[in-house]
């Protein structure tokens, strides 16, 4: 059985403290009585998260933590003590983040980005803020593929993200087509794999279909009102608020409509051309 992960175990016997579970290698762990259900009888299988309690005993729970071994997530600081910081990871026993694994002072009640790691020497799980040490450079051609994103901090260029729980990515400001918040999980698409293994990410599919949909949307709006008070000089925020698309997608769409001679482009607005 493995600390920090969901283990599929069998109930060996029921006792006053709870059920003792075992794996195929004969390792044993206690599932406390408060987690037992009526269907939990000897010989049945149960999925449990395995970790160490405050007395360094291996235990299990049917509760799901906010973070698994090797994962990344934003966790709230509960309190600090002389040895480190404790954060809420969704279980009764808080997760320890040693001071040596912190990159700056942590304030109680605030959320910060952590990854869950395992220390072989102490046989314990711990949290760390040293994300760069465990992020991998992407060596796969993921261009155009849909990926899982964890939204991270804002920068001057855009939003940092963690991609597929492995890689570092960035959504440029011009590609942010909807409201996203730190700690949010969402889907995205790989626009470019850079030489250093970092990824450029889009929130919209990286296909011509996206621009076709944007073109149809703008035409539909112009058919109802022949003047759209947006242009290629409008801010990404204005375009996103009115149309729900990135500025890059908007410019591609109106460029296509202009080439088709369906619109007139002005400094402050777009006008629908009357068909002759």
**Can you give the pLDDT at residue 269?**
92
- Is residue 245 within 8 A of residue 239, CB to CB? The reply is yes
Query: How far from the centroid of its chain's Cα atoms is residue 146's Cα?
Result: 13
What is 146-202's CATH topology?
OB fold (Dihydrolipoamide Acetyltransferase, E2P) (2.40.50)
> What stretch of H or E contains 151?
strand 146-154
* 45-98 pLDDT, tens digit each: 999 999 998 788 899 999 999 999 999 999 999 999 988 999 999 998 999 999
**Can you give the pLDDT at residue 275?**
66
What is 6-61's CATH topology?
OB fold (Dihydrolipoamide Acetyltransferase, E2P) (2.40.50)
DSSP three-state, residue 195: coil
> What stretch of H or E contains 105?
none
165: Cβ–Cβ under 8 A, 6 or more apart, which residues? Answer: 70, 71, 72, 148, 150
**Can you give the pLDDT at residue 192?**
87
**Can you give the pLDDT at residue 239?**
87
- Report whether CATH 1.10.10.60 matches the domain 208-272: no
**Can you give the pLDDT at residue 188?**
94
Nearest-5° angle of CA 201, CA 236, CA 160? 30
What is 72-132's CATH topology?
OB fold (Dihydrolipoamide Acetyltransferase, E2P) (2.40.50)
Residue 276 pLDDT grade (very low, low, confident, very high; cuts 50, 70, 90): low
The residue ranking higher by pLDDT, 249 or 123, is: 123
Whether the model clears a pTM of 0.85, i.e. scores above it, the answer is no
The CA-based dihedral angle spanning residues 59, 61, 65, 67, taken in that order and rounded to the nearest 10 degrees = 40
Nearest-5° angle of CA 158, CA 163, CA 166? 130
Weakest-pLDDT range from 65-79, 204-218, 233-247, 253-267: 204-218
All structural domains of the chain with their residue ranges: 6-61, 72-132, 146-202, 208-272
Q: Across all residues in the chain, what is the average pLDDT?
A: 91
**Do the domains 208-272 and 146-202 match in fold?**
no
**Can you give the pLDDT at residue 108?**
95
């Amino acid at each position: 059985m493995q600390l920090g992960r969901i283990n599929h175990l069998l109930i060996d016997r029921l006792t006053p403290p709870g059920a003792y579970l075992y794996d195929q290698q004969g390792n044993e762990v206690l599932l406390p009585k408060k987690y037992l259900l009526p269907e939990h009888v000897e010989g049945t299988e149960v999925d449990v998260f395995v970790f160490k309690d405050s007395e360094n005993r291996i235990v299990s729970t049917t509760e799901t933590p906010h973070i698994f071994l090797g994962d990344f997530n934003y966790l709230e600081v509960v309190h600090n003590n002389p040895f480190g910081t404790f954060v809420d990871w969704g279980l009764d026993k808080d997760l320890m983040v040693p001071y040596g694994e912190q990159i700056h002072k942590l304030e109680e009640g605030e959320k910060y980005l952590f990854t869950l790691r395992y220390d072989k020497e102490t046989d314990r799980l711990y949290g760390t803020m040293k994300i760069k040490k465990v992020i991998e450079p992407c060596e796969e051609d993921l261009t155009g593929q849909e990926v899982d994103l964890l939204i991270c901090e804002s920068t001057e260029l855009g939003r940092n993200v963690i991609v597929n729980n492995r890689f570092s990515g960035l959504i440029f400001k011009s590609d942010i087509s909807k409201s996203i918040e730190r700690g949010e999980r969402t889907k995205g698409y790989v626009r470019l794999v850079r030489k250093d293994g970092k990824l450029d990410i889009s929130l919209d599919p990286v296909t011509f279909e996206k621009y076709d949909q944007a073109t149809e949307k703008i035409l539909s709006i112009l058919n109802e009102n022949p003047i759209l008070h947006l242009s290629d000089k409008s801010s990404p925020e204005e375009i996103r608020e009115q149309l729900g698309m990135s500025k890059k997608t908007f410019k591609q769409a109106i460029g296509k409509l202009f080439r088709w001679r369906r619109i007139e482009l002005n400094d402050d607005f777009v006008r629908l051309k009357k068909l002759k």
